[in-house]
Structure formats: structure tokens, C-alpha cells
Amino acid sequence: MAQIEEYQDLVLDALETVEFKLIRDKADIHNDALIFHPAMAHQIFGDSETIFGYEGLHVRVLYTAGPLHIYLGIEYDKRVNEISGGEIKADDVVATIAQSLPDGCYFINLDEFLKTLDKADKFQPFGEKLSEYTQRAEDGSERLFEIYQCDYKMSSFLKFFARLQTFILWFVDAASYIDTDDAQWCYFICYEKYKNKDGQYQYATAGYTTVYEYYAYPQNKRPRISQMLVLPTFQKLGLATQLVETIYKFYQSQKNVVDITVEDPSDDFQRLRNFVDARLCLPLKCFTRDEIFKGFNKEMVREARETLKLNPRQLRKVYELLRLYYTNVHDEKDYRSYRLDVKKRLNAVYYKQLKDLQKMERHKMDTEMLRARLPNMKQRMEQLQEEYLLVEQDYKNTIQKLRA
């Protein structure tokens, strides 16, 4: 009887075998230059990110570029089912992927999928156009992008969005679909407007951001940026920056918005946010060189919050970034003053923990286990220096972009 251990060479890396394409024209089906692979697959195939039972496997996940109709299919040279005489079965790849897709939103028949391309030229963006952006390539060519805002009331949009958010399981770690029945969600979609082979304009979906509008007493709201994804073929074109700036402008015009926050930002998104926020704050009166060197203060928070709807906690980081922007790092006095200012914020949590322990000890509470978890002063100083160097390098990289 065949043992599965005999077929370890048929354990394949899903990151290599899964192939995505955004299809604008039927000829794109055979254009391998359009292929891009997932950044992760553990949310589909488990922690090992593997597929078992095939030789020469290609998993094809095709999307029509605009409306994002989906095709799932596989091609392979050999399968363990036949090699083992039926004793061992290969993973059902299509069924595994389909479990993560909304019901009825994909095709397994390529001809049926291709029929949707005949109507793709009629696809139009949903909602209200908020902005447009022209990206110029080194060869002088231009690409036009448009950003639209849409809400939950459009049922046709929600079906489209259900297909769009399927990308996050492959490209955003710890991702989950949002509840589109919740009326507090607001959607911002970026499209590329391009000319097809007949010279007619069409739209291709490039990325999106979702924002949850939290209630704030008494009749206000606090928008929180939740998910952002720019599809791989559209990355490095400045679209994420355009999306954030468009969202800011959308909410800055609304008097009942307290400030704009971000839900658990990734390191990359935090860097993007720092850049956008710092660029917006540079012209403000409270963020001039002279004011910056007076230290972080409530007037900075007031002006940036009223003018730009920026969050106070984020503004502290913007202040640090712009103070470094103005600091002469070759002047030891100025540079040391800057380092101490940043380290004071970084060390605030540690000192709070120490004060909490001291308070507990004054009340005769046992703190031995809690103290054991905290680093001693020497260890903490070493950790603090490491944390500071990482923060400073991030700020320096952002400052280079600001000065470019």
C-alpha cells in the first residue's frame, strides 16, 4: 500500500504555483508577462503554504481587470491520484481556494469567464469621483488614475467589492473580510483609466481603502482607515499616497469629523502616513522651525487637528520627524536635545510600568513576578537605544522623500 511519505517531491510551494493575472483583453490569457504571485498563502493553504499531489502544477487565478470577475483553474503534468493507482489523492486546489470566495462570484469554465470580457468595456467606476492623478514614466508616457468614493447603499457595488477584497487573503497578513452590511463603512476605490486597442477608454481596478466611521459624542464621527491594498501590478506608482491624501481631503471638509485615525497600521503604512502628514504640516504656522524647537505643545495639536483632522498621537511623531528635519545633526547640543526628546516618548511606557509597581508596593502587594518581567535599567537603556535608532532611520528616510 502506497504511503504519502513516498511522494514528498509532490509537495509544492503555493507561492510559486499560484499565478494571478488581471485580464484586459482575451490575448492576455496567454501573456505570461502579466503573471504575479501571492505574497502569502497561509490564509488559504495553512501555515506550510504548500499544495500536495502534483507535478508541473500551475494554479490560475484570473480576474477581469475592471469588474474583477474571477476564474479558477489548474493545469498539471501528473497527479498523485494516477501515480499511486488511486490510493492517495491530491489536494483539491480549486475547492480550497473557492472556500475563501463569496458564493457564486467565480467561474471554473474558462469560456464562460471569457464571455464576461465582452462586457468589460462597459464597466464604469462606482460612486463619486473625488480626484485624479497622472503618473509619468521615465519614457515620457502617462497613466491616468481616478479615485472614487462609494457607500454601502449600492448593491451592485457590494458585489464588486466582494470580489475585490478577495485579494487581501493573498497580500495582507491576518486579513479578514469586512462586514459590508455595516453602514458605517466607507469605500475608496482607485481605477486606471486607459485606452483599449480600439482607442476607447476603459477602467481597470488598481486598489482600494476602507474607512470605518466611528461615532464621536455628541454628533460627530472619527473615521478610521482600516484596510488598504494596491494591487501588485500598480505598486510603486504613488497610488497609496494618492489614496491617503484623497481620504484626508474628503474628511477635512466635514465639520463633524473630530480627527482621522488608522487601525493597526503596518510598518510600511506608518511610514507612508508619516510622509503624508509631515508634508501637510510643513506649511502650518505651528510647525515652522522656530516653533518646532520650542517643543511639542497643545497649540500644534489644535492647529493640525482643526486644519487637517490629524490625530494627536500621530502628531507627536510628525513633530519628531519635522524636528529632525530642522535639526543640525552635526551640532552636538541640538542633536543631543533631539535624541533625548524622542527617547522620552519611547521610554514613557517603561516608566509608567515602574510607577505602577511602586504604587502596588506602597500598598504591600507582591510585585516579584511583575518586576521579573521588566528589564533592569541597563537592559532598558540598551533596548531604548535600539528603538531610537530604528525610529531615527525611518525618519531620515522620510525626510529624504520630503526634500526630493
**Is position 17 annotated in a ligand binding site?**
no
Answer whether the bond into residue 218 is a cis peptide, omega within 30°.
yes
Q: Enumerate the H helices of 256-367 as residue ranges.
A: 267-281, 289-292, 298-308, 312-326, 332-346, 348-362
| Nearest of 210, 209, 251, 244 to residue 230 by alpha carbon | 209
| Nearest of 371, 389, 373 to residue 381 by alpha carbon | 389
**Could you give the CA distance from residue 334 to residue 321 in angstroms, rounded to a whole number?**
14
**Is position 236 annotated in a ligand binding site?**
yes
Strand order in the sheet with 128-136: 128-136, 142-150, 185-195, 201-216, 220-230, 261-262
Give yes or no: 263 in active site.
yes
Q: Enumerate the H helices of 89-214 as residue ranges.
A: 93-98, 110-117, 155-164, 168-171
**Is position 237 annotated in a ligand binding site?**
yes
For the chain, the first-to-last Cα distance in angstroms comes to 67
**Is position 239 annotated in a ligand binding site?**
yes
Q: In 10 A of CB 16, how many CB atoms?
A: 15
**Is position 343 annotated in a ligand binding site?**
no
Helix, strand, or coil here: 173? Answer: coil
What cell numbers appear for 214 in the block?
A: 466611528
* Alpha carbon of residue 267 to chain centroid: 10
Q: Enumerate the H helices of 67-167 as residue ranges.
A: 80-83, 93-98, 110-117, 155-164
**Amino acid (one-letter) located at 329:** V
Q: Would you give the DSSP letter of residue 375?
A: -
**Is position 216 annotated in a ligand binding site?**
no
**Is position 357 annotated in a ligand binding site?**
no
Residue length, the chain? 404
Which of the following is catalytic: 263, 306, 382, 386?
Answer: 263
**CA angle, 225 as apex, 223 and 231 as ends, to 5°?**
150
How distant, in Å, are the alpha carbons of 62, 93, 336 from that of 110?
Answer: 10, 16, 64
Residue positions forming the annotated binding site for acetyl-CoA: 235-241
Catalytic positions: 263
